Amino acid sequence: MSRKPIISGNWKMNLNHWEAIQTVQKLHYSLPKEVYRDVDVSVHPPFTDIRSVQTVIESDELELQLGAQHCHWEEKGAFTGEISPLFLAKLDVKLVVCGHSERRDLFGETDEMVNKKVKAIFKHGMTPIMCCGESLEEREAGETEAKVLGQVVAGLDKVKADQVASMVIAYEPIWAIGTGKTATSEDAQAVCKAIRGAVAAKYDAETAAEVRIQYGGSVKASTAEDLMAQPDIDGALVGGASLDPEEFSRIVQFAARA
Ligand SMILES: O=C[C@H](O)COP(=O)(O)O
């Protein structure tokens, strides 16, 4: 089974809607057209940019996929400040990040909430990128697998096998996010392999062989090649480096060649 890699740029709370338009246009010009044959590429701008980015993607017929960073699980109601998955789907959003460690740590997102989001994202025809990862303390205590696999199994509660096969799981060690410390490709591979094993144990070998697993945490062009060469790493969730279209484009091209 060969899985198509996916590189996703999570812009976090960066770039206003004018900057977003310029960034997407620059990214488009720095990516060779044929790259999309071998790799899926998504950008995840802040909510206020999504409509502008959608317009650029639609009018210039870009193969770039539009993503979001977060959503609520309910369709509508008294949830001040939240965004409905229905609204995202209406704007042609294809992929939604959920369970990012910044949402878990800074905004109290629990495994149960992540699971509700995964189901809501599927319900509206989009694909979840479900994040998991351990803290430095957990890694040093030898609890990496217990923590990460616990998050994966809880996040997939009552999610069907065919849905899991089509989704993306992002392994992001918290200590590597925005710190410049990338996990070694061997360490990242070991955890991604364990995640695939947990999917096989919960579902079956076929589902595990299809689900795409990204690595995230200080990915740059200089580290992408080794990471992408690992058998269980099918792409990257890129934060800081995705704000620079040239750098992001180089990461995408490494994934295309992997
Ligand atoms: O969602 C992206 C990750 O949190 C990685 O961010 P980073 O590449 O800035 O370390």
Helices (H) and strands (E) in the chain, counts: 13, 8
Per the listing, tokens 């997407």 go with: 24
Does a structural domain hold residue 107? yes
Helix, strand, coil share (%) of the chain residues, nearest 5: 50, 15, 35
Per-residue pLDDT, 18: 98
Q: What are phi and psi of 8, to 5 degrees?
A: -120, 130
Is the beta carbon of 5 within 6 A of some atom in ligand 1? no
Does a structural domain hold residue 60? yes
CA 178–ligand 1 middle distance (angstroms): 6
Atom of ligand 1 nearest to the CA of 241: 8
Per-residue pLDDT, 105: 96
Does a structural domain hold residue 223? yes
Spacing of C-alpha 206 from chain mean position: 21
Is the beta carbon of 239 within 6 A of some atom in ligand 1? yes
CATH code (residue 243): 3.20.20.70
- Between the CA of residue 160 and those of 67, 117, 119, 199, what are the distances in Å? 22, 14, 10, 11
CA 227–ligand 1 middle distance (angstroms): 15
Q: Helix or strand or coil: residue 215?
A: strand
* Residue 188 identity: A
Residue 68 lies in domain:
6-257
Does a structural domain hold residue 228? yes
Does a structural domain hold residue 114? yes
- Between the CA of residue 173 and those of 10, 91, 147, 154, what are the distances in Å? 15, 31, 11, 18
Q: The pTM is what?
A: 0.97
As for how many domains the chain has, the answer is 1
* Residue 147 identity: K
Q: Which stretches of the chain are assigned E, i.e. beta strand?
A: 6-10, 40-44, 65-68, 95-98, 127-132, 168-171, 212-216, 235-238
pLDDT (tens place) for every residue of the chain, 258 residues total: 589 999 999 999 999 999 999 999 999 999 999 999 999 999 999 999 999 999 999 998 899 999 999 999 999 999 999 999 999 999 999 999 999 999 999 999 999 999 999 999 999 999 999 999 999 999 999 999 999 999 999 999 999 999 999 999 999 999 998 888 878 999 999 999 999 999 999 999 999 999 999 999 999 999 999 999 999 999 999 999 999 999 999 999 999 988
C-beta separation of 159 from 118 below 8 A: yes
Annotation: binding site for substrate: 10-12, 178, 218, 239-240
**What CA–CA distance (Å, rounded) separates 1 from 213?**
14
Does a structural domain hold residue 1? no
Question: Which of 102, 109, 177 should be mutated for ligand 1, with most atoms under 8 A from CB?
Answer: 177
- Between the CA of residue 16 and those of 33, 48, 145, 177, what are the distances in Å? 26, 7, 37, 22
Count of beta carbons in the 10 Å neighbourhood of residue 218: 20
The interface pTM score, or ipTM, of the predicted complex is 0.99
Give the CA dihedral 75, 133, 141, 208, nearest 10 degrees.
Answer: 100
Catalytically active residues are 100, 172
Is the beta carbon of 155 within 6 A of some atom in ligand 1? no
Looking at residue 74, the DSSP 8-state letter turns out to be S
- Secondary structure (DSSP) of 190-208: HHHHHHHHHHHHHS-HHHH
Does a structural domain hold residue 241? yes
Is the beta carbon of 223 within 6 A of some atom in ligand 1? no
Is the beta carbon of 84 within 6 A of some atom in ligand 1? no
Per-residue pLDDT, 238: 98
Does a structural domain hold residue 248? yes
